């Protein structure tokens, strides 16, 4: 195994059309778990399919360690990449039993029947489906099919495992269970995993690294913590986690983490040039001698209230509150911290 | 590590040249040869002789007249069945639909024989019932009207299917909205349903017309005894009196048939432009009107029609096949299976015909399947811009009347093959090639529908599992399209086993097919033997249709031709 490198990767489907992926470079470290996050249609699936070998890049290259998997002129076909993929539709072969589905990659590689059986059983037990070996995929539930697809990936010890929105077709309860299975799978197999999703919570919960895409470009790649605390640009800021973006006077210097004193000063300054500052709801606290604000909506979430506040100049903030608040209440808020985008 | 320049495509490199070669050999080459001969004989001035020949003009006129009235009859019959069975609460729809579709699947020469057995002074059935007209009175079907009527019966199911597909695609909510706004059933029919279903009807009429123009079996049996010739039968007689100018003449005659067919198909394409009824909308639930008191009346009419167009002719055919020696009236004690014994065990000609037809049909059905699985895969998966063009080329030989193709192949293979110097003319091989070309589209269609239904990720998963193209073909693709492949084999077998048009021109001693055998037996006056052979053919058709019917639920929509 080795790290996977995408090098200035571009893909245009139709000659002269707009590019689905533009100049995308990133490196996934060996054994890493990368989530590709972005809104629908931003090119995530296209990137994944280029890594798998189903699409050829129109520019740039893909490397696994030293080995060039694909560039604009040549590519290794998927059959020879030693990768595995969980498709959104699971792609289980309906005419084979669960055990045959899982064992097929081994059969193709010419593994003997006895050895195959042992490996299939091992893979099925990893996803807790030993009892279903002889069933047909049609007789399984959505979550079980998903796990069969995962077992099929596990069985050949692939260099890279690709997952294309694997949870999109499952209900909320099953999702949580499957997230757990994916984490286990990653820990157990040690494979490099690339996980495509448009759900930021899923990406943050699962991955060791998150790459945010928009309109075919890579916006930022970082650990989930970093991405949450220090997003680059307005798009990433609004895509990851909750928060509000304030437009304030731009501060001198290159300090990006701003405290209450700085924020208060900038809010009141009204300079000529402005900057955007991301404020997370947990940093907005209702207390005396802050900025005056009006509650414009209050939503009970069980453990707390989620408030939307309108500041005196009309800008919007989000905040949490333990005590009930009514629409129209006048409050005063202190912003403990903000991040200049 | 092998790296190839393959743009992420899943097909091996040889697939495109293979498909291109197959389609050129089966479709482009014969038709191009026909065009070349036609044009060159026209340039040599032979055209003049032909076009001043009154026989040719007469045949063209008779072709147009019989086809036109055949189309009218098909529209009336097929249109009424489609409207009643689709829009109204008739009981027993499935049975009625199946029985109504039978006449298209029964070979035309058998249809003609069965109707002859039902009418005229020598009808065994009428004689047994004491209803036969006096000896010496004419057989009423040996006429333009008789040919047109049978054209109508044979092709009514084409109109039925086309109109029905259109009716099923009607917007149900639109009809319900009209009724809620106070329109009566009659107004809804007149203002909404009829205008919306006209394209389906017109398209059905156009296909029926094309099918009549190319029909050989019916005018051969009903027309030739009365010296009525249509273009296909004229071509047949030209070959019977072969001379040096024959090739030029028949190529011009086939070109006439070809042009008439192309006009018909163009009309069909035009009225259906932008809506492919045959692919979409088949699942739609049509609005059902209640007939109340009229229902009995309508059901009676439908069943009576089935009795007249199907039950009576088939009964007459069975009666003819059981007929005892000439002059003895048929009843339970005089009925004899002698004719069946004769064709199955004594006559070497019919036994050879059975062997020939069955082996040719099996070879065609399975041989074509191998070709169409690869071709279908290419057409659906390649995303190539040439794919629609190739798909259209593959359709042409089946869309054109079989007689045109037969002429084209005779022209192509009349001379010994270049290089190897072997002549295929007069051998079984030329019939096999003609069948491959003619039924390519029949075999391709179910396979293509099946490919369209398969999620591409099933194959992509197999690629990542490490399976190369051949491996995927045997492990994944073929098992997934197996039901459609089965349907394709049965359909091709059924049609090939029953065809007469192509083999009538291409057979020679020892290579006769079932269709040719039936025609020759009738021609030589052995009407009871021809009838017995026809009864066996009808039984085979019904059996295979029932097999397809039971498979229908596991097949993609539109694969079973009489189901929609
Ligand atoms: N096979 C294809 N042919 C043409 N355009 C495509 C194809 N696949 C994807 N696209 C286009 O590329 C863009 C990115 O698509 P995709 O990678 O599927 O986005 P995502 O997975 O992020 O939703 C879309 O605009 C889509 O229409
Ligand atoms: Mg996608």
B470 close contact with A: CB closer than 8 A: no
Question: A42 C-alpha vs ligand 1 centroid, how far in Å?
Answer: 8
pLDDT greater than 90 at residue B347: no
Residue A239 φ/ψ region, left for φ over 0, alpha for ψ in the -120 to 50 degree band, beta for the rest: alpha
Question: B386 C-alpha vs ligand 2 centroid, how far in Å?
Answer: 28
**Ranges assigned E (strand) in chain A:** 4-12, 19-28, 33-37, 59-64, 67-71, 83-86, 160-164, 192-197, 209-214, 217-222, 244-249, 257-259, 274-279, 284-300, 305-311, 316-321, 330-335, 337-340
Which range is least confidently modeled, A177-181, B164-168, B388-392?
Answer: B164-168
Question: A43 C-alpha vs ligand 1 centroid, how far in Å?
Answer: 6
pLDDT tens, B41-72?
A: 777 766 666 677 788 889 999 999 999 999 99
Residue nearest to atom 14 of ligand 1 (CA): A43
Residue of A nearest to B10 (CA): A54
CA distance A100 to B190: 58
Residue nearest to atom 4 of ligand 1 (CA): A13
CB distance A75–B6 less than 8 Å? yes
Selecting from A67, A104, A152 the residue whose C-beta is nearest the C-beta of B1 gives: A67
Residue B371: the pLDDT is 95
CB distance A156–B2 less than 8 Å? no
DSSP bridge pairs for A246: A277
Residue of A nearest to B7 (CA): A56
Residue A321: the pLDDT is 87
More reliable by pLDDT, B31 or B334: B31
pLDDT greater than 80 at residue A193: yes
| Average of per-residue pLDDT values in chain A | 89
Residue B402 φ/ψ region, left for φ over 0, alpha for ψ in the -120 to 50 degree band, beta for the rest: alpha
Residue B327: the pLDDT is 62
Please say whether the beta carbons of B206 and B264 come within 8 A.
Answer: yes
Which range is least confidently modeled, A38-47, A161-170, B303-312, B355-364?
Answer: A161-170
CB distance A56–B455 less than 8 Å? no
| pLDDT bracket for residue B274 (50, 70, 90) | low
**Residue written as token pair 């209803």:** B131
CA distance A312 to A293: 6
pLDDT greater than 70 at residue A225: yes
| pLDDT bracket for residue B275 (50, 70, 90) | low
| pLDDT bracket for residue B266 (50, 70, 90) | confident
pLDDT greater than 60 at residue B8: no
Selecting from B455, B460, B466 the residue whose C-beta is nearest the C-beta of A54 gives: B460
Residue B130: the pLDDT is 73
- Residues from chain B contacting residue A91 (CB–CB below 8 Å): 455, 457-458, 460-461
**Cα(first)–Cα(last) distance of chain B, in Å?**
51
DSSP bridge pairs for A197: A37
pLDDT greater than 90 at residue B92: no
CA distance B478 to B238: 46
Residue of A nearest to B470 (CA): A108
Share of chain B above pLDDT 90, in %: 27
Phi and psi, residue A147, nearest 5°: -70, -35
Alpha carbon of residue B421 to chain centroid: 35
B475 close contact with A: CB closer than 8 A: yes
CB distance B457–A56 less than 8 Å? no
pLDDT tens, A239-262?
A: 888 888 888 887 777 788 888 888
Share of chain A above pLDDT 90, in %: 40
Selecting from A54, A91, A105 the residue whose C-beta is nearest the C-beta of B458 gives: A91
Hey, what domains does chain B have and what are their CATH numbers? 34-322 (1.10.3720.10), 344-564 (1.10.3720.10)
From B451's Cα to the closest Cα of chain A, the distance in A is 14
pLDDT tens, B118-132?
A: 887 777 777 777 777
More reliable by pLDDT, B477 or B525: B477
Hey, what domains does chain A have and what are their CATH numbers? 4-230 (3.40.50.300), 242-340 (2.40.50.140)
Residue B47: the pLDDT is 65
pLDDT tens, B160-194?
A: 988 887 787 776 666 777 777 777 777 877 777 77
Selecting from B5, B464, B479 the residue whose C-beta is nearest the C-beta of A73 gives: B5
Residue nearest to atom 11 of ligand 1 (CA): A20
- Dihedral angle at the C-alpha atoms of B365, B512, B243, B232, nearest 10 degrees? -60
B6 close contact with A: CB closer than 8 A: yes
Residue of B nearest to A78 (CA): B464
């Amino acid at each position: 195994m080795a790290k996977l490198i995408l090098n200035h990767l571009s893909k245009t489907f139709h000659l002269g059309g707009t590019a689905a992926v533009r100049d995308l470079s990133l490196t996934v470290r060996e054994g890493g778990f990368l989530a590709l996050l972005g809104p629908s249609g931003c090119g995530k699936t296209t990137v994944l399919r280029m890594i798998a070998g189903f699409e050829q890049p129109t520019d740039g290259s893909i490397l696994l360690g030293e080995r060039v998997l694909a560039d604009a002129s040549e590519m290794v076909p998927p059959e020879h990449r030693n990768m595995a993929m969980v498709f959104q539709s699971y792609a289980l072969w309906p005419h084979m039993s669960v055990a045959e589905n899982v064992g097929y990659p081994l059969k193709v590689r010419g593994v003997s029947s006895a050895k195959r059986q042992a490996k299939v059983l091992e893979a099925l037990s990893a996803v807790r489906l030993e009892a279903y070996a002889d069933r047909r995929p049609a007789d399984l539930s959505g979550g079980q099919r998903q796990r069969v697809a995962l077992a099929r990936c596990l069985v050949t010890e692939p260099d890279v495992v690709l997952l294309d929105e694997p949870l999109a077709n499952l209900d909320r309860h099953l999702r949580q269970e499957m997230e757990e299975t994916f984490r286990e799978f990653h820990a157990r197999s040690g494979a490099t995993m690339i996980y495509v999703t448009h759900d930021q919570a899923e990406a943050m919960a699962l991955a060791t690294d998150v790459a945010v895409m928009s309109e075919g470009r890579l916006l930022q790649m970082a650990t989930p913590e970093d991405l949450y605390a220090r997003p680059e640009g307005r798009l990433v800021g609004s895509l990851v986690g909750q928060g509000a973006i304030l437009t304030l006077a731009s501060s001198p210097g290159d300090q990006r983490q701003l405290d209450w004193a700085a924020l208060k000063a900038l809010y009141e300054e009204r300079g000529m040039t402005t900057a955007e500052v991301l404020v997370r709801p947990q940093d907005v606290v209702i207390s005396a001698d802050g900025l005056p604000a009006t509650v414009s909506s209050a939503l009970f979430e069980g453990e707390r209230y989620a408030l939307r506040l309108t500041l005196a100049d009309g800008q919007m903030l989000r905040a949490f509150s333990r005590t009930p608040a009514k629409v129209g209440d006048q409050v005063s808020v202190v912003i403990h911290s903000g991040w200049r985008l | 590590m092998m790296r190839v320049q393959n743009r992420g495509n899943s097909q091996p490199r040889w697939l495109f040249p293979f498909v291109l070669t197959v389609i050129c050999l089966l479709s482009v080459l014969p038709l191009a040869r026909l065009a070349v001969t036609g044009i060159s004989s026209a340039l040599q001035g032979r055209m003049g002789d032909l076009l001043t020949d009154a026989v040719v003009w007469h045949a063209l006129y008779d072709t147009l007249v019989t086809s036109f009235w055949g189309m009218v009859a098909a529209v009336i019959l097929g249109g009424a069945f489609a409207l009643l069975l689709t829009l109204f609460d008739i009981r027993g729809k499935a049975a009625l639909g199946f029985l109504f579709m039978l006449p298209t699947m029964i070979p035309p020469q058998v249809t003609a024989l069965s109707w002859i057995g039902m009418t005229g002074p020598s009808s065994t059935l009428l004689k047994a019932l004491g209803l036969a007209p006096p000896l010496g009175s004419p057989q009423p079907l040996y006429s333009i009207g008789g040919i047109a009527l049978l054209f109508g019966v044979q092709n009514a199911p084409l109109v039925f299917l086309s109109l029905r597909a259109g009716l099923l695609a009607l917007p149900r909510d639109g009809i319900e909205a009209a009724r809620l706004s106070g329109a009566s059933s009659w107004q809804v029919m007149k203002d909404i349903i009829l205008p919306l279903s006209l394209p389906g009807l017109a398209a059905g009429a156009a296909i029926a017309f094309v099918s009549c123009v190319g029909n050989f079996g019916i005018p051969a049996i009903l027309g030739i005894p009365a010296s009525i010739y249509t273009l296909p039968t004229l071509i047949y007689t030209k070959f019977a009196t072969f001379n040096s100018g024959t090739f030029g003449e028949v190529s011009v005659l086939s070109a006439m048939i070809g042009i008439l067919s192309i006009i018909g198909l163009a009309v069909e394409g035009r009225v259906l432009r932008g809506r492919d009824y045959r692919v979409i909308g088949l699942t739609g639930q049509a609005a059902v009107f209640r007939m109340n008191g009229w229902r009995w009346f309508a059901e009676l009419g439908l069943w009576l029609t089935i009795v007249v167009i199907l039950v009576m002719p088939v009964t007459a055919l069975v009666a003819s096949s059981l007929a005892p020696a000439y002059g003895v009236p048929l009843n339970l004690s005089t009925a004899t299976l002698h004719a069946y014994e004769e064709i199955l065990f004594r006559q070497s000609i019919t036994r050879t015909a059975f062997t020939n037809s069955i082996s040719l049909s099996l070879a065609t059905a399975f041989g074509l399947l191998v070709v169409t699985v690869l071709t279908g895969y290419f057409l659906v998966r390649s995303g190539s811009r040439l794919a629609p063009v190739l798909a259209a080329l593959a359709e042409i030989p089946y869309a054109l009347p079989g007689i045109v193709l037969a002429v084209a192949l005779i022209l192509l293979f009349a001379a010994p093959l270049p290089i190897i110097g072997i002549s295929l003319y007069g051998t079984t091989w030329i019939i096999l090639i003609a069948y491959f070309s003619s039924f390519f589209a029949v075999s391709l269609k179910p396979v293509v529908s099946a490919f369209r239904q398969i999620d591409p990720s099933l194959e992509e998963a197999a690629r990542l599992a490490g399976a190369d193209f051949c491996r995927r073909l045997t492990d994944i693709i073929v098992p997934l399209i197996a039901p459609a492949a089965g349907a394709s084999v049965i359909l091709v077998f059924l049609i090939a086993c029953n065809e007469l048009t192509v083999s009538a021109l291409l057979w020679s001693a020892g290579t006769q097919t079932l269709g040719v055998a039936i025609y020759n037996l009738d021609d030589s006056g052995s009407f009871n033997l021809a009838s017995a052979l026809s009864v066996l053919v009808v039984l085979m058709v019904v059996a295979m249709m029932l097999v397809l019917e039971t498979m229908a639920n596991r097949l993609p929509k539109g694969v079973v031709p009489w189901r929609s």
